[in-house]
Structure 1
């Protein structure tokens, strides 16, 4: 084989190999990327995320900011609407630690207990823990609400007790007493002696009393994503149950993320999270695409699907037929649930994360598989849009959750009070996720705690009070990835582009080598050999006898015949 042909063949084989390898890079990068996510994101004792999840002490500090609403005119309740001044913020460094961690490899979950610790940061705070705040007396209001359907004699007994001790519907306490230290109250002691179900076993009241450095979040069981990364972070059980005791099915189902992890490959539909604080699932709706440290993220926010009261969800018949047909007190499949306070219902639907949205009006009223999730948590009476009723999981206290300053709530909530000024920048609740990996880029959690003040015909102190949802305080917890973490994430996200670019480059180089091979082949095939001598053909006829004599056809008379030359010798026939 000629040398030039060997070289051309080598170029051709190398070119074909590069093309095949390049095509593999172009088409197999999703599989390679998925395997990397499966290895790096799945939670295990040896994963990179485990230590950060287990203890946040070594991460950039996380702060909870608390703002109180100070009631400036409590004596004028029957004359003027309540006016509030926002006080704070009071900063608390928050540390989260997991204990009693057990990996259950048989069902790919991890069980744990979460402990939260708060440290007051006086330097950052705008105020001190000794600041005095005036607002509703939460213990008294809760007690009156708890017995509102009792026998009249019981209610009169409470009325007499409140009047004899000059109790009012408002109280003034320090920030420290209202939050962590708590304050004693005779009603708490009396409540333990009365035939009341679901009485808190506390000797003092404080919004965070006994919660600091405690495991009051309960026992949680979460998917690790060990075999299926699409299940990462999904909460399966809370306190050893997959349903809660506070609502009827399907409202009592525990579903959604546990909060620390989110599955990868997010869409622009919606995400969900189960909150142990309010004993229910919260839905976050896609708001838009934003950039964080140069990384594109999907921003989800709390809106009508969580705050509305007519958000519907269609379940497959095989699921719906097993649902209990009532909430705590009412049939929400048939009831039209309108509040006495003039609720404006919405027409949004609640769907699973993977399903498409559907307008409420498209559902048939006769469809037994359609559940009005907006009425799911009413606990007997639905509220104006913008509020979440958490009475059932807060010992019967008339507690309601909203966004700060009643942002995105019914206008009547804001009209009943003064001093609140909602806006999107300061009062929205958003979660921003990197869509390919599901890694949270930024979480801004904001909630406001409200108490319902309403009149009572029997309890004298509450005879003539108006029905108002009173704001108590709100908090903000903001968490975002650091620049170092963002840099690592950018490298991971660049991997598909790098693999695709390398694949295209290999294909281009391979095609170039094949083109070179073809060019060399035709070029050498057309080459005509040239020489300055002539050859005489040898007659190989069998009829002639020949003798081969080699002669030098280029010799000249000037050369020395005794010196051998290096010229070619040619055969001559005789």
Structure 2
């Protein structure tokens, strides 16, 4: 038992250590491929998969918040003074997205139609849809800029029509009317003067339409719709998404790693060049004609109305834009857009897209409603689309895509470490056993005596015993 027990311990430690080490090494080599394959299969948009249902009927609540810039001094603006504005809102809507006519194609793509519904949320809003806001009249000031190059008699006719229809440079409308449209007989008149000028017959609203840009690059729909990105993102991976509200794809840049409710994230933000003009950033030349850097001409996708897109309060734009309007206070914290996403799966966990619409206004000599207005890009409103993953979905998502890969990742090193320790223990026990065997060979045991005896003394002992016995005879 004394010799056998260490040998069994050596065998057990050796076999178990080798097995654990082998498992750990296999996991170390194979785990990245296993996880990659599992994640790729899981996030693929195919019927009857977890992520397909997530993509088809987005369970994450989206909120659409609108802030208006109420004009405080319309008469002074008409006299050529600097506009002063006051921010009003937010007016918050719960946004529901539904995909229909989903069709999978042989080339690996999918096409669909997306419908959006908006429901006003009084408890989250600072005001109601019946609140009145004083804003520039797009049908007057916008049309004036659009018609500034037509013949003077036609401009006079337009100005006269505006007067007959009691149209002024600024109007007082409710939040609901400005956003979702209001009936106005002047719309019919403008379509009579210039057929096709407006794509609708008798109703006008800000959040409508989509047309084309001036370059193939700018017309491309790059990235996703912001619902999911490819898995295994790295800091060098581009993050692009198509914004219906911006009528274009937006490319964000990696800023920093972080954590969101225990999940690792990458945070992406808008680059300084997002709305730069073609002079400062040549790839944006296709969105021109351009004005100051930091605002994008939207006329191509907004019925030729001289609307401009920017970050709220002209964040990261040419300082000249701030100097021409009072009441703007840009802040990266309040007005910066960002996407926080889980890099392994490409799932956005926290998204905030903030954009501003402004109207370019100026004096047009033969349209009297424009008065002596100086050229200015006047903010109309800014809006935020916000979505944050909820705890119930996070709890379902976390074990499958985060916990199990993380546990396996740590397990491989635990197996390697424990296997190595057991092998070291096995070698140690084997060496101790060998030393014990060597010592056992150097010692003889008297079968009549349990104690050890000196081999050289044995003959003398026998001789003495023999002499004593002979003497007695």
With over 3 angstroms needed to count, the CA separation of the structure-2 counterparts of 1:505 and 1:297, relative to structure 1, is: closer
Structure 1, unpaired ranges of 5+: 210-215, 218-243, 311-336, 338-344, 350-371, 535-574
What's 2:349 paired with?
Answer: 441
What's 2:330 paired with?
Answer: 422
Q: Return the alpha-carbon distance in structure 2 between the equivalents of residues 124 and 42 of structure 1.
A: 35
Residue 284 (structure 2) aligned to one of 374, 381, 398:
374
Q: Return the alpha-carbon distance in structure 2 between the equivalents of residues 143 and 164 of structure 1.
A: 16
What's 2:270 paired with?
Answer: 302
Residue-pair matches, total: 437
With over 3 angstroms needed to count, the CA separation of the structure-2 counterparts of 1:190 and 1:24, relative to structure 1, is: same
Please say if 1:51 is aligned against 2:53: yes
Displacement after TM superposition at 1:462 (Å): 2.4
Determine helix, strand or coil for the equivalent of 2:51: helix
What's 1:40 paired with?
Answer: 42
With over 3 angstroms needed to count, the CA separation of the structure-2 counterparts of 1:398 and 1:14, relative to structure 1, is: same
Contact 1:140–1:187 under 8 Å retained in 2: no
Contact 1:163–1:460 under 8 Å retained in 2: no
Determine helix, strand or coil for the equivalent of 1:119: strand
Matches within 5 A, 1:355-504: 372-378=282-288, 381-462=289-370, 464-491=372-399, 492-504=401-413
With over 3 angstroms needed to count, the CA separation of the structure-2 counterparts of 1:504 and 1:55, relative to structure 1, is: closer
Contact 2:9–2:429 under 8 Å retained in 1: no
Residues 133-180 of structure 1: CA distance to partner in whole angstroms, max 9, x if unpaired? 111111122322333333444333213322444432111111221122
Residue 251 (structure 1) aligned to one of 185, 205, 218:
218
Displacement after TM superposition at 1:86 (Å): 1.6
Displacement after TM superposition at 1:374 (Å): 2.9
What's 1:532 paired with?
Answer: 446
Residues 178-215 of structure 1: CA distance to partner in whole angstroms, max 9, x if unpaired? 122x2222332123334445631242112247xxxxxx
Q: Return the alpha-carbon distance in structure 2 between the equivalents of residues 164 and 508 of structure 1.
A: 87
Displacement after TM superposition at 1:497 (Å): 4.0
Matches within 5 A, 1:306-317: 306-310=274-278
Contact 2:162–2:186 under 8 Å retained in 1: no
What's 1:82 paired with?
Answer: 83
Please say if 1:293 is aligned against 2:261: yes
Residue 232 (structure 2) aligned to one of 265, 272, 297:
265
Matches within 5 A, 1:36-185: 36-56=38-58, 59=59, 61-77=61-77, 78-104=79-105, 106-180=106-180, 182-185=181-184
Please say if 1:506 is aligned against 2:415: yes
Q: Return the alpha-carbon distance in structure 2 between the equivalents of residues 149 and 112 of structure 1.
A: 41
- Give the TM-score normalised by structure 1: 0.70
Q: Return the alpha-carbon distance in structure 2 between the equivalents of residues 508 and 130 of structure 1.
A: 68
With over 3 angstroms needed to count, the CA separation of the structure-2 counterparts of 1:50 and 1:249, relative to structure 1, is: closer
Q: Return the alpha-carbon distance in structure 1 between the equivalents of residues 320 and 269 of structure 2.
A: 22
Displacement after TM superposition at 1:517 (Å): 4.2
Q: Give the aligned CA root-mean-square deviation in angstroms.
A: 2.7
Contact 2:73–2:84 under 8 Å retained in 1: yes
Residues 227-249 of structure 1: CA distance to partner in whole angstroms, max 9, x if unpaired? xxxxxxxxxxxxxxxxx743222
Contact 2:62–2:388 under 8 Å retained in 1: no
With over 3 angstroms needed to count, the CA separation of the structure-2 counterparts of 1:247 and 1:286, relative to structure 1, is: same
Contact 1:33–1:495 under 8 Å retained in 2: no
Displacement after TM superposition at 1:421 (Å): 1.8
Tell which deviates more after alignment, 300-309 or 479-488: 479-488
What's 1:205 paired with?
Answer: 204
With over 3 angstroms needed to count, the CA separation of the structure-2 counterparts of 1:480 and 1:47, relative to structure 1, is: same
Please say if 1:275 is aligned against 2:243: yes
What's 2:21 paired with?
Answer: 19
With over 3 angstroms needed to count, the CA separation of the structure-2 counterparts of 1:506 and 1:164, relative to structure 1, is: closer
Tell which deviates more after alignment, 521-530 or 110-119: 521-530
Higher helix share: 2
Determine helix, strand or coil for the equivalent of 2:257: strand
With over 3 angstroms needed to count, the CA separation of the structure-2 counterparts of 1:461 and 1:93, relative to structure 1, is: same
Displacement after TM superposition at 1:115 (Å): 0.8
Determine helix, strand or coil for the equivalent of 2:70: strand
Displacement after TM superposition at 1:306 (Å): 0.8
What's 1:192 paired with?
Answer: 191
Contact 1:26–1:499 under 8 Å retained in 2: no
Higher relative contact order (Cα pairs below 8 Å, separated by 6+ residues)? 2
- Give the TM-score normalised by structure 2: 0.84
Determine helix, strand or coil for the equivalent of 1:450: strand
With over 3 angstroms needed to count, the CA separation of the structure-2 counterparts of 1:145 and 1:196, relative to structure 1, is: farther
Residues 55-82 of structure 1: CA distance to partner in whole angstroms, max 9, x if unpaired? 24xx354322211121121111125311
